[in-house]
Amino acid sequence: MLKKWFNIALLNFFFAALMGALMRYAFVSEVLWMDFRNIMYAHYHTAMLGWIYLGIYAILISTFLKNKTDLRSYSLFFWISELSVIGMLLSYAISGYGLISIVFTCLHIITSYALVALFLRDYRAEEHSTISTLFVKTSFFFQVLSTLALITIYYLILSDSSLTVLYYASVQFFLHFQFNGWFTFALLALLIKLLEDRDLIIGHKGWLSFYYLLCISCLLTYAIAVAWSNPLPILFWINSIGVSLQLIAIVLFSFKLKNVFSKLRLDKWSRIFLIIAISSFLIKVMIQFVVVIPYLATIAYTIRNFVIGFIHMILLAWVTVFLLAMAIEKGWIRTDLKLVSLGLIILLSGIVSSELYLFLQGTLLWASMGFLPFYDITIFNLSVLMPIGLIFIIGGQFAFDHS
């Protein structure tokens, strides 16, 4: 059942990737019927709530609730969540932010609260006291915390106050605690659980220090999002403290992981994907530390390629590649099938090459060297690799399961 849920999440990923490629194509040739902003809304809601959210939940349940055999309640909430994702995809794409799209999003939020309560109830029944337990519970805290901003956002939209400072601060609140809180802590919980199951967690104090430093830094680094609308010196200082603590946490994490990663027996494919994902996570932290310098911060936030590249690095190179690594390790993605393995290569090529190309173009703009030749058509072609790769992965597995 959980494998089926993950495959449906992958299908959501395909539609999100297809919309992403369509937005790239809009810069190559005019698409008269398309409202770019509406497609963008549909794209990121489907990617974050349809692919990443549902993908994480399927893997979390499989990993942390291994003794749970009756999944009927989870199944009910999964399908309500998927229904809301379909509703968001269609309503945002057709009419953008409006009553219908907001209703579907609110349905997803309410369902997410029910899933958190259900998961914690069942997990508490098994009673665990591990490092991964801290991370998984904290991930749920940040998930719920981030959604509180959506309530503010939708109220401001419906009251025609979407151009206020509060609106932009709320958007940044949601994104910050989704990316750096919910997604990151959930993925780290899965990674640490993988190490715990193989008795590779050594020195609990070090891991606890990593956990507390990361928690504090996650809260403090929200200050930079507020600082762009209210550039008070104290906010920049708070952010500087936050990113410094985050860097210390990641250095500690790197040393801990370095000592045990070679002992972690993994499938060849899942090892490659996991290395790419963790490397992307470390690069993301380094970027956040570097942009503490005001000059570099201005460059990072004003050059659109850097902004898009950074967001996609988190959602694709870190979160998506990690989820795929976990799915491969669980046998949910069959790498022994040629069509599936080809799809993984194409998908990964699309993710890595488009990221490199975005940052290369951003660097050229920073150096006042203009645009790369045929930039729009090239970035479109690289983006198309992702939905093509997903077709091979989903199609290959579907053909095998029904052969």
**Rounded mean pLDDT, 208-219:** 95
pTM above 0.85, yes or no: yes
pLDDT average, residue stretch 343-356? 96
Better-scored residue on pLDDT, 291 or 297:
291
Q: How far apart are CA 223 and CA 183, in angstroms?
A: 19
Predicted local confidence at residue 4, as pLDDT: 92
Q: How far apart are CA 170 and CA 154, in angstroms?
A: 10
| SS3 (DSSP) at 174 | helix
pLDDT score for 300: 73
What is the model's pLDDT at position 161? 65
Does residue 65 carry a pLDDT above 70? yes
- Are residues 156 and 170 in contact, defined by beta-carbon separation less than 8 angstroms? yes
pLDDT at residue 216 tops 90: yes
Is the pLDDT assigned to residue 275 strictly greater than 70?
A: yes
- Total residue length of the chain: 403
Q: What is the mean pLDDT of residues 226-244?
A: 82
- pLDDT score of 138 more than 90: yes
Inter-residue contact 2 to 331 (CB < 8 Å)? no
Closest CA relative to residue 41, chosen from 99, 113, 93? 93
Q: What percent of the chain has pLDDT over 70?
A: 97
